[in-house]
Amino acid sequence: MVRELSHYVAGRRIGGTSGRYSDVFDPCEGKVQARVPLASREEVQNAVAAAEKAQPEWGAMNPQRRGRILLKFVDLVNQNLDELATLLSSEHGKTLADSKGDIQRGIEVVEFAAGAPHLMKGEFSEAGRDIDVHSLRQPLGVVAGITPFNFPAMIPLWKSGPALAAGNAFILKPSERDPSVPLRLAELYSEAGVPDGVFNVINGDKEAVDALLEDPRVKAIGFVGSTPIAQYIYATAAARGKRAQCFGGAKNHMVIMPDADLDMAADALIGAGYGSAGERCMAISVAVPVGEETANMLVAKLQDRIKGLKVGHSLAKDSDFGPVVAPSAKDRIEGYIRSGVEEGATLLADGRGLTVEGYDDGFWLGPTLFDHVTKDMKIYQEEIFGPVLSVLRATDYDEALRLCSEHEFGNGVAIFTRDGDAARDFASRVEVGMVGINVPIPVPIAYYTFGGWKASGFGDLNQHGADAFRFYTKTKTVTTRWPSGIRQGASFVMPEGS
């Protein structure tokens, strides 16, 4: 039976009125399991109106009290973790353990955001005998988040936690591919005590996105997705005077130095390249071994490990990874594999044609490994977003550093080495936003910021950490004078600090 999903506005689920719907698949079964309504412009405007009405009271609340509500929300998420993870896996296809990790990394940011009283403190100075200057951080008002399918819990929580803690009302436009977890999170926010209208979920496509961009009541928009859409949202938001932080595609490299522990490096590549079927913006998709001997030994270890990988149902405990999210995703990834073969890369493991017993119609792709990839190949230049790992051999350290730095994407990168000098030099010089040293997926912890460079990120402020509070607040500076009874008359000179 196909379920009918909804929006969540002003504290309750409401059905769609546009008459337009999108299919939500069960990736393991290959069947439609739900229909999600796609909001009209009017439906988006109604959600914005609900948020605008609710925000002033929420913004005026003591930030410590808002923090308590967020901590109660974290408790509710933990109490419902198994339900949320199962729901997430059923629509996305990632394994149950991976889904729990998705949720956990999200609530860590909410926990950090509960420290809003400290994070929103301003500054104070005595500027003279009778003049004081202080600053205030105040909420923007109504803000929005447009989030991707690959992390349907983590990214909505990264966006909404700091925004709510700072006193804003929030409108979430999640991916229409797996919207059930965001809707359930909305219910848990309400149960925790977030007032009706402060957190809303509007499902939709470009029409909903454009409605958010065009509505003057929406003061800021955060986005995670592909680079072309990130550029569009950033440019459109900026032209309309909105704040925007937009994160796009990635092509994450991992450099393997000759002195590296190759077993450790191979294990890291297998997990970072094929985990979640490669549908992560921080997945390692390019291995860069330095020197032919290093490359040959590494490739042999990768081939040996690939043979033991288990692709299976997302709820099976022995599955290393599950299916990709939709038939269109499978078709696109298979197209990249064909391109790699046609352009001359050596295909060592081919994930096409995989079937899982009992689930013949699922969107399955096995681990794919290319060797002898070159910079001019499409599989190197573009983000594949699937279980495809490319090996591009570098002759020396300097060539490996250039490869990572010169690619148009600059999201994440890693180096595996025992040499502290090489690691320090690499971290300092590489033109990438997040760096791992013997860490394959360098996603920062919640109190540091997450963000890529170049075509991977648009905007001056990153996600979570202190940057999130800078993004979701505006600074007001107040200069105060309490005269001691001495009248000085009118002055027509620009005031000076002295």
Structural domain spans, the chain:
3-248+456-478, 252-437
Name the CATH superfamily housing domain 252-437. Aldehyde Dehydrogenase; Chain A, domain 2 (3.40.309.10)
116 vs 328: which has the higher pLDDT: 328
Residues 6 or more apart whose Cβ sits within 8 Å of residue 304: none
Residue 281: active-site member: yes
**What is the C-alpha to C-alpha distance for residues 33 and 25, in angstroms, rounded to an integer?**
5
**What confidence category does residue 493 fall into, taking pLDDT thresholds of 50, 70 and 90?**
confident
pLDDT score of 496: 72
pLDDT score of 331: 98
Residue 495 has pLDDT above 80, yes or no: no
pLDDT score of 489: 75
pLDDT score of 497: 62
DSSP strand pairing (218-224 vs 243-247): parallel
User: Are domains 3-248+456-478 and 252-437 of this chain identical in fold?
Assistant: no
pLDDT cut 90: percent of the chain above it: 94
The two tokens of residue 197 are 């209208």
Choosing from 28, 246, 281, 404, the catalytic residue is: 281
Average pLDDT of the residues in 151-156? 98
Residue 190 backbone phi and psi in degrees, to 5: -65, -45
Residue 84 has pLDDT above 90, yes or no: yes
Residues 6 or more apart whose Cβ sits within 8 Å of residue 422: 257, 397, 415
Angle at 266 between CA 274 and CA 304, to 5 degrees: 85
What three-state secondary structure class fits 14? strand
Residue 498 has pLDDT above 70, yes or no: no
pLDDT score of 258: 98
Residues 6 or more apart whose Cβ sits within 8 Å of residue 371: 295, 299, 345, 346, 348, 391
pLDDT score of 491: 78
pLDDT score of 389: 98
pLDDT score of 482: 85
> C-alpha distances in angstroms, 125 versus 131, 485, 498?
9, 22, 14
The residue assigned the tokens 């090996």 is 391
Domain 3-248+456-478 annotated CATH 3.40.605.10 = yes
Average pLDDT of the residues in 188-198? 98
Residue 101 backbone phi and psi in degrees, to 5: -65, -40
The two tokens of residue 379 are 């599989």
Amino acid at 54: A
**What confidence category does residue 46 fall into, taking pLDDT thresholds of 50, 70 and 90?**
very high
pLDDT tens-place string over residues 391-448? 999 999 999 999 999 999 999 999 999 999 999 999 999 999 999 999 999 999 999 9
**What confidence category does residue 484 fall into, taking pLDDT thresholds of 50, 70 and 90?**
confident
262 closest CA partner among 288, 298, 296: 298
The four Cα atoms 180, 186, 190, 194 give a dihedral, to 10 degrees, of 170
Average pLDDT of the residues in 364-393? 98
pLDDT score of 130: 86
Average pLDDT, the chain: 96
**What is the C-alpha to C-alpha distance for residues 486 and 498, in angstroms, rounded to an integer?**
18
Average pLDDT of the residues in 215-239? 97
pLDDT score of 19: 97
pLDDT score of 485: 64
The two tokens of residue 412 are 């994440």
> C-alpha distances in angstroms, 329 versus 246, 303, 325?
22, 25, 7
Whether this prediction's pTM lies above 0.75 is answered by yes
Average pLDDT of the residues in 103-114? 97
Average pLDDT of the residues in 121-131? 89
Residue 128 has pLDDT above 90, yes or no: no
Residues 6 or more apart whose Cβ sits within 8 Å of residue 85: 96, 99, 100, 102, 103
Average pLDDT of the residues in 221-244? 97
365 closest CA partner among 311, 317, 406, 319: 311
Q: Which of 53-57, 118-122, 231-235, 343-347 has the lowest mean pLDDT?
A: 118-122
pLDDT tens-place string over residues 275-294? 999 999 999 999 999 999 99
Average pLDDT of the residues in 334-348? 98
Q: Which of 128-132, 151-155, 259-263, 387-391 has the lowest mean pLDDT?
A: 128-132
